[in-house]
Amino acid sequence: MAVGRMSTPLSRVRGLGTARSGTEAFWRQRLTAVANVPLTIAFVFIVISLLGRNHAAVVQILGAPLIAVILMLFILSITAHMRIGMQVIIEDYVHDEGTKLVLIMANTFFAVAVAFACAFALLMLSFKV
Amino acid sequence: MADIKAPVERPLSPHLFIYKPMLTMLMSIAHRITGLGLYFGTLLLAWWLLAAATGPSAYAGIGTFMSSFFGRVILFGYTWALMHHMLGGIRHLMWDNGRGFGAREREWLAIASLVGSISLTVIIWLLGYLFAGGSR
């Protein structure tokens, strides 16, 4: 095995070769997928319970610690999940290296922006109002 | 090094549109498209939460949009996309564990995810109309 002779013991143990990274994205996609299932079900029930209510009631419910924590976890999990998913789509269909790089960056910016906007709104609802 | 040969014209493997559409294939495409829709749909979620945090008039604004016909169509599609992607994801988690690869299982899972996502969407909307607002 050519890999073994020229590489350090540490890199041999890691077993990642020149790619430098392995199955982290795959694993994180599954991890967030599992988390997304109960969080999505909870999210749907929370939304149903808020339908038709006035602003004051919605603020009160969204600001409740249990609801806020569930929604925060939901947002963090789905944005992490969708970022990986979109990167896979980009890598599948965009073959120009420059465009691909720009889109992968834009994808990260979008996912982080959505995550922070939602998280910030939830914190406002919990602490300010 | 001097004589670089021109790349040989090799046969390409047949692409998607060569094949007869099959349910499992359509569900695979649907999984990706619903994921794509949900990706941009998070903007609605961000708008909703930011509007709620901003104040009554901003919240009334998104309420007007969402309760319009166009808004309801978007929300209905979003509900279905969420349910379909969730069930499709559970199917993928089964496959990750090496289960459900048999010919009949594959077909059954494809049908189940479609029937399941449509049923769940209808149930969620029925619940929504039944319990809208609850006790105000």
Nearest CA-CA distance, residue A17 and chain B, Å: 24
Give a yes or no: residue A80 inside a domain: yes
Overall domain count for chain A:
1
The whole domain housing A71 covers 23-127
Give a yes or no: residue A13 inside a domain: no
Give a yes or no: residue A16 inside a domain: no
Q: Which domains does chain B have, with CATH numbers?
A: 22-131 (1.20.1300.10)
pLDDT of A51-82, one tens digit each? 989 999 999 999 999 999 999 999 999 999 99
Alpha carbon B133 to chain centroid, angstroms: 27
* Alpha helices in A63-96, H assignment, sequence order: 65-93
ipTM: 0.86
Query: What CATH number should be reported for the domain holding residue A117?
Result: 1.20.1300.10
Amino acid at A60: Q
Give a yes or no: residue A67 inside a domain: yes
Regarding pTM above 0.90, the answer is no
Chain B residues inside the 8 Å CB shell of A58? 52, 59
Nearest to A106 by CA among A121, A124, A90: A90
Sign of CA dihedral B129, B119, B49, A63: positive
Give a yes or no: residue A89 inside a domain: yes
pLDDT of B17-56, one tens digit each? 777 888 999 999 999 999 999 999 999 999 999 999 999 9
Nearest CA-CA distance, residue B39 and chain A, Å: 6
